Chain A
Amino acid sequence: MKFKEDQPSDETLDLVCRMCPLHLMEPGDRLKCMKKGQVLEVLTDYDGALEDIPEWCRKHGQEFIGLEEDDDCYKLYIKKTK
């Protein structure tokens, strides 16, 4: 697990209170609208996402930068690489 503090991001996707499998559907959609090299911050309170999102990034050729634990959610960072 890669932890990152104060990671800057270009866009935020708030998935708090949203159930599985939304955390695997919405980041892909959002990344499509972003530019190469930009960073997407994903907020989620679902701990399954901690495994799923890095795995999803590997499968889809995006870079998983790391995560930070916040008061009420996790923040996961994905860099658009393609």
Chain B
Amino acid sequence: MNLIYMDHASATPVREQVIKAMVPYFDLQFGNPSAVYDMGFNIKQVIEEQRAHVARLIGAKANEIIFASSGAEANNLAIKGVALAGQKKGKHIIISAIEHHSVLNSARFLERMDFEVTFLPVDEHGLVDPERLAKVIRPETILVSVMHANNEIGTIQAISELSSICREKGVIFHTDAVASVGNIPVDVNVLGVDLLSLSGISLGAPKGTGALYFKKNIRLMPLIHGGIQEMGRRGGTENVPGIVGLGKASELAANEISAKKDQLQKLRELLVSGIQEKIKKVTLTGHPDKRLPGHASFCIEAIEGEALIYMLNQDGIYSNTGSACASKALKTSPVLVAIGVPPDLAQGSVVFTMNNNSVQEVRYVLEKLASAVEKLRSLSPIWREKTA
């Protein structure tokens, strides 16, 4: 049985060119980049080249990039780093109600340190209202964080509108772009952001890689104190193979991204229209158009997401339910609650995130999904109530 992988929001395969680029840095070029002899110096140069590749992918300058161990670390560094560095100015931060756990829990951590956090509600498509943001900014607000694209519902936020409000009021703006970088063109100047997090897992780079873009004038309290690595903003010997992998993947992505978008959008349209045609009582979650090109997410009435994922798994289809990182938690997805999906319907959440998938694969998924839903509904007492 062929495997059909439609969970690219959770991880992407590391590309062959990326692996090839990384290999020498495990053994031949193993030295510590801080060492002053030739091998150390050369590796240091290589790291700086990768920094430039990552910067180019998002329209930044090389010295505005800090390498991190994941998108989650980049988010932690942005939220805690800015808040701890700026707390004398004020102790109020604003985040949207649909942030990833790494932003949400960083904010919750700050709450314990006497910061005040405002959670911005979103509309039924998951969009933050710019006027609402303008209203909740106070003189003591030091940071606003709104994610670029949501991993669970695919909605792409109007970041430039939100960031310009913050710029006018002198508030630092961060966006978590883990779900968008690698899937759509992202330019920090167009978005107008002060900080932006990205991750290797969306880019065909290895796990354990990520980066934070920060504007030069932003003060950041390091999370990892140590040596002078990353300009003193993140201690610890650099993950050289990982950085090379992220750099190579960024270089490749920068050249391909526009073409990929159209192809992914076609696949998505096929999947969405097919599901709506074949399956009754199904809701597309997130925004119908302002969404990631390869992202299709649904709530299917009268079934439970995990059971559906397992059933698709038996047909060789890998998909996800709820938040990619929280599918084992038993609680209803906070993102679906925030966009107003009723809790019983939210149980039937399924997310397909495509990348190098084919039309045939989409057709196969449609066929198997329809029969899995039918089977689960035949077991379901609430489906009987609904149809009775």
A20 to chain B, nearest CB (A): 9
A70 to chain B, nearest CB (A): 10
Q: Is A17 a contact partner of B219 (Cβ separation < 8 A)?
A: yes
Q: Given A22-B228, A22-B232, A25-B228, check contact A16 B85 (CB 8 Å).
A: yes
**Cα of A22 to Cα of B225 in the assembled complex, Å:** 12
**Cα of A74 to Cα of B89 in the assembled complex, Å:** 16
A5 lies within 8 A of chain B by Cβ: no
A residues in contact with B225, CB < 8 Å: 19
Task: Tell me which of B222, B228, B233 has the highest count of chain A C-beta atoms within 10 A of its own C-beta.
Answer: B228
B199 to chain A, nearest CB (A): 24
Q: Given A71-B88, A72-B88, check contact A16 B219 (CB 8 Å).
A: yes
B residues in contact with A22, CB < 8 Å: 228, 231-232
Q: Given A25-B228, A71-B88, A72-B88, check contact A18 B233 (CB 8 Å).
A: yes
**Cα of A14 to Cα of B225 in the assembled complex, Å:** 18
Interface size class of A (residues with CB under 8 A): 10 to 19
A19 nearest in chain B by CB position: B232
A8 lies within 8 A of chain B by Cβ: no
In the complex, the number of residue pairs spanning A and B with C-beta atoms less than 8 Å apart equals: 26
Task: Tell me which of B222, B231, B232 has the highest count of chain A C-beta atoms within 10 A of its own C-beta.
Answer: B232
Q: Is B222 a contact partner of A19 (Cβ separation < 8 A)?
A: yes
Interface residues of A in 19-67 (CB under 8 A from B): 19, 21-22, 25
B232 nearest in chain A by CB position: A22
B221 lies within 8 A of chain A by Cβ: yes
Q: Mark B219-248, 1 if CB is under 8 A from A, else 0.
A: 111100100100111000000000000000
Q: Is A17 a contact partner of B220 (Cβ separation < 8 A)?
A: yes
B residues in contact with A14, CB < 8 Å: 217, 219
A26 to chain B, nearest CB (A): 8
Report the interface size for chain B: residues with CB under 8 A from the other chain: 15
Chain B interface, >50% SS class = loop
**Cα of A25 to Cα of B229 in the assembled complex, Å:** 12
A residues in contact with B231, CB < 8 Å: 18, 22
**Cα of A14 to Cα of B222 in the assembled complex, Å:** 14
A residues in contact with B221, CB < 8 Å: 17
Q: Is A17 a contact partner of B85 (Cβ separation < 8 A)?
A: yes
Q: Is A18 a contact partner of B217 (Cβ separation < 8 A)?
A: no
A residues in contact with B222, CB < 8 Å: 17-19
A72 nearest in chain B by CB position: B88
Q: Is A18 a contact partner of B232 (Cβ separation < 8 A)?
A: yes
B residues in contact with A21, CB < 8 Å: 228
**Cα of A30 to Cα of B176 in the assembled complex, Å:** 31
A71 nearest in chain B by CB position: B88
B residues in contact with A17, CB < 8 Å: 81, 84-85, 219-222
A22 nearest in chain B by CB position: B232
Q: Mark B72-96, 1 if CB is under 8 A from A, else 0.
A: 0000000001001100110000000
B223 to chain A, nearest CB (A): 11
B residues in contact with A25, CB < 8 Å: 228
**Cα of A71 to Cα of B88 in the assembled complex, Å:** 8
A residues in contact with B219, CB < 8 Å: 14, 16-17
B85 nearest in chain A by CB position: A17
B226 nearest in chain A by CB position: A19
A12 nearest in chain B by CB position: B217
**Cα of A16 to Cα of B233 in the assembled complex, Å:** 11
Cross-chain pairs A/B with CB under 8 angstroms, 21 sampled: A14-B217, A14-B219, A16-B85, A16-B219, A17-B81, A17-B85, A17-B219, A17-B220, A17-B222, A18-B222, A18-B231, A18-B232, A18-B233, A19-B225, A19-B232, A22-B231, A22-B232, A25-B228, A71-B88, A72-B88, A72-B89
7 shortest interchain CB distances as A-B pairs: A22-B232, A72-B88, A18-B232, A17-B221, A17-B85, A16-B219, A17-B219
What 9 new A-B contacts, CB under 8 Å, besides A14-B219, A17-B221, A18-B233? A14-B217, A17-B219, A18-B222, A18-B232, A19-B222, A22-B228, A22-B231, A22-B232, A25-B228
